[in-house]
Chain A
Amino acid sequence: MTKITLNINKKEYPLEADPQMPLLWAIRDLAGLKGTKYGCGVAQCGACVVHLNGEAVRSCVTKVSRAVGKQVVTIEGLSETNSHPVQKAWQDIDVPQCGYCHSGQIMSAVVLLREKPDPTDQDIDDAMAGNICRCGTYLRIRAAIHLAAETQKKTAPQG
């Protein structure tokens, strides 16, 4: 066990962890933030996606030691009022069914829209193919990403 400090959603969490522990379990069991989900443990489903210094990473295969000194953002930290354009779009289109995979879906979509503010269907398929949704909400995920892109364009600072 090692003493480490994680910065999650702009808050410091002093923790005692095995440095080999995946970031996922440190976030869930040690920091107590349960919004990030366990789905497969082998980077196949995307339920555990969080942002590490702004990049989408699969926290189930990212060692907690890699996150030390970096900014971790989880679904709980995406916005204070559940109002990020991607969250709003998910709500407007009623994307989730069971909802379990959508923390990961939303976190992946946010990074996609930062890199490609006006994605094509192909861009969305490429970026989101790593996220499984067993309820099969894929068509709505695609629609919601387009909607979020529209919203972001309208609210983006001009010039």
Chain B
Amino acid sequence: MDNQTVSRRNFLKTSAVTGAVFSLGFYWPGNAKSAKVINAAEANKFGVEMNSWVHIDASGKVTIFDHRAEMGQGSYQAVPQIVAEELEVNLNEINVVFAQGDAKKYGNQVTGGSSTVRGSYKNLLKLSATAREMLIQAAAKKWNVPKLECYAEGGDVIHKPSGKKLHYGQLVEAASKLEAPKDVVLKKRSEYKLIGKPLRRLDTPLKTNGVAVFGLDKQIPGMMYAAVERNPRLRGKVKSFDDSKTRLIPGVKNVFKVKMGVFNTYREGVAVVADSTWAAIQGKKALKVEWDDTGFEHLDTEEIYKRQAEALQTQEGLPFKKQGEPNEVIAKASKKIDVIYETPYQYHAAMEPLNCVAHYQDDKLEIWGPIQAPEWVQDYISKEMSIPKEKVIVNMTFLGGGFGRKAFMDYPHEASVISKEIKAPVQVVWTREDDATQGPFRPGITYRCEGVIKDGGIDAFKVKLAGQNNNHWRGGKKDVPNGSASEGFLKPYTESIKNLAIMDIPFETPIPTMWWRSVYASTNGFAFESFLDELAHEAGKDPLDFRRVYLKEERLQKLIDKVEEVSGWKSRAKGAGYGVAITECFSSTVAQVVKVSKAPGGGVKVDKVWAVMDCGWYVNPDTIKAQIEGSIVMALGAATIHQVKFKDGMAVDNNFSTYQMPRINDIPPIDIHIMDNDEDAGGVGEPGLPPFAPALTNAIFDLTGKRIRKLPFNLGMV
């Protein structure tokens, strides 16, 4: 399953205009949010390049562009499943091609924020229904019958009274000459044949026989391999290097200094180019590099958390949200809760280490790789290397995991710079050690939570957080609070709690940080939802009943009803080891109940997890279940197994031998339910992660009376 679309696209462009294929795409006039559906002739009229999102050739074959990266989350399945529904074609007759990076054509392609479906489904439904209507219209015209007497099914248009039938392929020429109707009627949810069904993923067979092409599998003629030794302290420059031993290694062809950007910062390293990955890696190991990292502090983990703790005691921070008189209530209260929650730095640890193929030529630069944000790569490299944007061609392969890390431009930039230097195509391969130690990492954040209970309810609620703001590293303003300071925490709390403050204390270190699956919700969720549990216990209330008071919306009440029902919450014995947490991110809310018990060998073990997802309108329930399963496993690792530790400014653990991962024997049974409603679609890939850690530690409190406020912790030592 390769992804070479250049020549194919040019072919399509020409044939779409001549009518040999029927293509429909979108056109975003200006920065309009909703797209206009256009055909090839209109594309010419508007002077825009056709994105041919959906096209059908004369044989009836349907090709769909997946505008987003496929990194496991299921865009390769979801996009065609949406299109096939309204287009009325069989899913297995669709050919899926990854779109190249081009914001003008495909809109936002950044695969982040769990946004593939929620960000595009309305447009995709409209586009597909438009195509279907035009094909029906073309058939009706051919038969000279009223359009209302015709319908489409399985890639055919059928004339109901006569039973006459024409395949889409026979209609492409006529349909391509029609003007796209302005309004089309979309199906009701009850009429769906594909959407909402647990259909098998189209990419699964490619992933059971080695056929799927990941970034690391991409090979082009004449391609060299490169490994790069980068500053282990993540910043700073190369002072000097000795490559005498490197050059003795058979296969090593070239060694030179490289500089690559990551957002608005730069990183330096020494590249070793060879004729095999192995030779490049050996050559890199044999290098001796002296680094210049003056101006960058060499921090230890202990020092980072000491500073965060101090800041939380001495600084008030910038107000993200403040209402009522929280400080006054807290100051006057005879009894208050005042606790610190600590969360660690985390590494993305995608199974496919970073890598990228670049081919710099006189007239263009072409890139292939596991890339989450193709148009960012295009834009960034165009600016950094002074190449016109349209000459930077960015191709997405399958991604062997992403989790936020592959939305960066550093590794494609690095590959491009090396290819330019050696005047040949090259694949840059990051070793696991490079991948594990270079970051950017999820920032570790410490929270100070203060609260007062009065008459069984919350009288004051104050959370201050001290941790790195990812935006600062991208050059964001430093005098404003983190806009995601309460991400994960359900919004209704911030409206229904009278005296409330959420304060952000700006906190800087030289460590590069960035998104990690579910972003700030992954740490906020732990602090806020554990703190709520503490307040519920202080108030002497059942933790779910306590939440109900503040979450009055019917949709949330239904979610609570469901998790209560499936987990047997009401019939649980007191102190039996049940904990609950509910978080929201990327427009989806997830409730989880965790059940723990004493482990035979000491400590506790997780017996079961129940998860209820409310993501509104959805495409594939099995994909959603898979994403929640995976989110829980990832959360389990981050809560109980691994963290990135720093010593003398460097990440300590550099491979899975010390940076341990959850394994098959660590995983509890997981029971997942999805809410059915007609709300707009929410995200799926990330929202299942944040509630797990607090539900787990709340369960441990229920069982043992011990409150865990620092992650990660060892289940066996509880």
Contacts and interface: CB of A to CB of B under 8 A. Distances in A.
B15 interface: no
Interface stretch (B179-187, B324-332, B545-553, B622-630): B622-630
A95 B203 CA distance: 11
Nearest to A95: B204
A139 B210 contact: no
Contacts of A142: 664
A26 B171 CA distance: 50
B629 A137 contact: yes
Contacts of A132: 351, 656, 661, 663
B398 A138 contact: no
A136 B667 contact: yes
Nearest to B213: A34
B225 A98 contact: no
A132 B665 CA distance: 11
Given A98-B352, A135-B72, A140-B626, A90 B204 contact: yes
A28 B209 CA distance: 15
A78 B209 CA distance: 8
A100 B633 contact: no
Given A135-B401, A136-B667, A99 B206 contact: yes
A140 B204 CA distance: 13
Contact of A100 (B352, B622, B670): B352
Contact of B207 (A28, A76, A96): A96
Interface in A15-63: 18, 21-22, 25, 28-30, 32-42, 44-45, 47
A136 B205 contact: no
Interface string A82-103: 1000010011101111111111
B431 interface: yes
Interface string A117-144: 0000000111011011111111111100
A100 B354 CA distance: 13
A99 B431 contact: no
A140 B207 CA distance: 15
A87 B630 contact: no
A32 B219 contact: yes
A76 B212 CA distance: 11
Contact of A82 (B208, B351, B429): B208
A21 B278 contact: yes
B379 interface: no
Contacts of B400: 37, 98-101
Contacts of B506: none
Nearest to B348: A134
A23 B206 CA distance: 23
B629 A74 contact: no
Contacts of B74: 97
A18 B250 contact: yes
A25 B206 contact: no
A24 B669 CA distance: 34
Among A44, A74, A92, find the residue whose CB has the most chain B CB atoms closer than 10 A: A44
Given A38-B216, A91-B204, A98-B398, A29 B665 contact: no
Contacts of B200: 91-92, 94
B353 interface: yes
B401 A98 contact: yes
Contact of B351 (A28, A92, A106, A133): A133
A98 B350 contact: yes
Contact of B278 (A25, A40, A45, A98): A25
A38 B700 CA distance: 38
A73 B208 CA distance: 14
Given A41-B431, A90-B204, A94-B204, A35 B667 contact: no
Given A35-B209, A141-B664, A142-B664, A30 B276 contact: yes
Give the one of A75, A76, A94, A137 with max B CB within 10 A: A94
B72 A97 contact: yes
A29 B656 contact: no
B277 A129 contact: no
Interface string B662-676: 111111011000000
A1 interface: yes
Contacts of B607: none
B251 interface: yes
Nearest to B628: A136
A138 B205 contact: no
A101 B212 CA distance: 12
B277 A87 contact: no
A8 B600 CA distance: 46
Nearest to B663: A129
A134 B403 CA distance: 10
Given A34-B219, A125-B664, A131-B664, A97 B73 contact: yes
Contact of A99 (B212, B277, B403): B212
Contact of A106 (B208, B632, B669): B208
B432 A39 contact: yes
B178 interface: no
Q: Could you say which of B205, B432, B664 has the most chain A C-beta atoms within 10 Å of its C-beta?
A: B664
A87 B211 CA distance: 13
A129 B664 contact: yes
B634 interface: yes
A18 B656 CA distance: 27
A85 to B, nearest CB: 11
A137 B431 CA distance: 24
What are the 6 tightest A-B residue pairs by CB atom distance, in nearest-first order?
A35-B210, A136-B633, A100-B400, A99-B207, A98-B72, A97-B72
Given A25-B277, A97-B72, 9 more contacts: A36-B210, A38-B216, A41-B431, A78-B209, A90-B204, A97-B73, A106-B208, A138-B664, A142-B664
10 contacts: A33-B210, A39-B353, A40-B656, A76-B210, A96-B201, A99-B206, A125-B665, A128-B664, A134-B350, A136-B634
